[in-house]
Amino acid sequence: MSHLLTIAIDGPAASGKSTVGQRVAQVLDFLYFDTGAMYRAVTLLALERGMDLADAEALGRLAAETPILIEQPADDVQDSRQYTVIVEGRDITWELRHRAVDQNVSQVARHPSVRKELRSQQRKIGEQGEVVMVGRDIGTVVMPDAPLKIYLDASPEERARRRCRDCELRGEDADYETLLDEIRERDQRDSQRPEAPLSVADDAIVLDTDGLSIDEVVRQILELVKQQGWTREEASRNHTQTAP
């Protein structure tokens, strides 16, 4: 069992991982790291370049050769972003949320060549400790030693409603039935791929968030953190790990 203070949060699309993960990280003063942004970045570039999404070798090369920078938003950025994603000097933060990326990301993420590259970058970040990392395979593959693993779940209907609201807030058209179909399709692809499928780690705590507010889910996770008995001294001792 690792002594690093790390929290792994996994779960299907729109289960609330990002919002909850960021709030928990804020309260604990931990780094918040959303691994989905990396898979989305590779997908966006592949689509822009007209690449064949079945070409595992080319996509693996793209992932290996393209540094993806995920940074704190600059002070003068006034939108609701959680972080800024820069690739080749370009701010692609909002482009990562486009429907075309939603619809294609799980095809890119199924390739072991892509996963291997992104996983090694994610592990380096996890090894520094004091991180809340969210994704699909964090508790099972990326940080199997994380002392606290949460699996956030919710019904497809509830998740489609949440995604609809997100789209509306961004001023985008949203059709509930279409989003529901897309969520079901992505769940299926993510859970059935051979490499690092979406699954619940044996030692994860499953939180069913149907009908729960964000605040309630955050409260439950902070309660679990408290039960770990982590102290600030422990945190600073563990913070002297290798840099990525």
Question: What radius of gyration, in Å, describes the C-alpha atoms of the chain?
Answer: 17
Nearer to ligand CDP, 18 or 209 (CB): 18
- Quick one: which segment of 10-18, 20-28, 55-63, 164-172 binds ligand CDP (CB under 6 A)? 10-18
- Closest distance to ligand CDP from the beta carbon of 210 (Å): 16
Q: Is 40 a residue that touches ligand CDP (CB under 6 A)?
A: yes
Q: Is 35 a residue that touches ligand CDP (CB under 6 A)?
A: yes
Q: Using DSSP bridges, classify how beta strands 90-91 and 84-87 pair: parallel, antiparallel or unpaired.
A: antiparallel
Q: Is 162 a residue that touches ligand CDP (CB under 6 A)?
A: no
Of residues 184-223, those binding ligand CDP (CB under 6 A): 186, 190
Nearer to ligand CDP, 46 or 230 (CB): 46
Which of 106, 121, 128, 238 forms a contact with ligand CDP (CB under 6 A)?
106
Q: Is 238 a residue that touches ligand CDP (CB under 6 A)?
A: no
Nearer to ligand CDP, 141 or 225 (CB): 141
Q: Is 121 a residue that touches ligand CDP (CB under 6 A)?
A: no
The SS3 of residue 137 is: coil
Q: Is 105 a residue that touches ligand CDP (CB under 6 A)?
A: yes
In terms of phi and psi (left: phi > 0; alpha: psi -120 to 50; beta: otherwise), the region of 243 is: beta
The SS3 of residue 91 is: strand
One-letter amino acid identity for 35? T
| Residues 36, 98 contacting (CB under 8 angstroms) | no
- Closest distance to ligand CDP from the beta carbon of 73 (Å): 17
| Residues 214, 23 contacting (CB under 8 angstroms) | yes
Q: Is 14 a residue that touches ligand CDP (CB under 6 A)?
A: yes
Q: Is 109 a residue that touches ligand CDP (CB under 6 A)?
A: yes
Nearer to ligand CDP, 122 or 128 (CB): 122
Nearer to ligand CDP, 105 or 218 (CB): 105
Q: Which two tokens stand for residue 100?
A: 């075309």
Residues in the chain: 244
Q: Using DSSP bridges, classify how beta strands 148-153 and 6-10 pair: parallel, antiparallel or unpaired.
A: parallel
Residues 6+ apart with CB under 8 A from 5: 30, 129, 130, 147, 230, 234, 235, 238
| Side-chain-side CA neighbours of residue 241 (13 Å) | 20
Q: Is 36 a residue that touches ligand CDP (CB under 6 A)?
A: yes
Nearer to ligand CDP, 108 or 218 (CB): 108
Question: Scanning the structure block, which residue is given the tokens 């679990």?
Answer: 224
Under the rule (CB under 6 A), what is the footprint of ligand CDP? 13-14, 18, 35-36, 39-40, 105-106, 109, 135-138, 186, 190
